[in-house]
Amino acid sequence: MVTPGLLLVDKPAGITSHDVVSKVRKLLGTRKVGHAGTLDPMATGLLVLGIESGTKLLTFIVGKDKTYEATIRLGYSTVTDDREGDVLEEATQDEIAGVTGQTILSAIAKLTGVIQQKPSAVSAIKVDGERAYARVRAGEEVDLPSREVTVSRFEVVGEIRFAKDHIDLDVVVDCSSGTYIRALARDLGNDLGVGGHLTSLRRTRVGEFDVATGYSFVASKEAEIIRLADAAKTSLPFIEISEQDEIDLRHGKRIKGQVEVPTAALLDGQLIAVVEGAGFESLKSLVVFSLGESNV
């Protein structure tokens, strides 16, 4: 029997997030595997996978803030805002020479905080039921509307590397869900007047989960699934409930209590449900875990 819960995977470059799901399905011998947010094939780093009934927890993880490490190259803009796209424009050496470390830091400051960001056209956002990237690859022009995102940290790590025809900088970004790091690279380059794109991207954190504990397909260690109760207690606030509360939740009834956000309800260390506030001092279930699921 496959243990329900979450599996953290360190995705290698060159494969899709769906490829990772397929590999894990074969590895664990189960079809019931999902993920809490994709990574581009070029990108590496943390994918949070739900295994069996752990997929029920993914909806509460997908919207959490994230941390990325990236390398931005200034001097070129590309169709995809990363190294895999065709070059759109290339800055002159004189334009590159006019960019200084201070102007880069000033432009980064403008992209920090609560900002309006236009997602990259080559993204997974759906337009009339079809992914934007599919429309772009079919030759269509896609203009996605700007939306509000929060970039709580956008910092340069190490030395900025200046060359005649480009500038490279390594950055770390803490941001809200839905923020496109490729778009940050694009907008940084546009603000400096030289264009910009990503040459590398690695996701190191999703909410409370860190890539340092992620499973690697090339490592010899076994895939360690985070059990349901531990996964819920790590990613959500949690409360202890009574045996009667468990019975009521399993029958679709409300129980007494008060919470501000979705909260894990546990009984004797077992995950029973995720609940939310439902009026004055009452709670209702968002998802309920069966007895078989909550006993492992």
**Catalytic residue numbers, as ranges:** 40
SS3 74: strand
Q: How far apart are CA 250 and CA 208, in angstroms?
A: 28
- Cα(49)–Cα(54) distance, rounded to whole angstroms? 8
**Tokens 């996605």 sit on residue:** 144
CB neighbour class for 169 (10 Å; exposed up to 12, middle 13-18, buried from 19): buried
User: Which CB contacts under 8 angstroms, 24+ apart, belong to 288-296?
Assistant: 288/249, 288/250, 289/53, 289/56, 289/228, 290/53, 293/4, 293/52, 293/53, 293/228, 294/228, 294/229, 294/270, 295/270, 296/1, 296/3, 296/4, 296/227, 296/228
Query: For residue 14, how many other CB atoms are within 10 A of its CB?
Result: 10
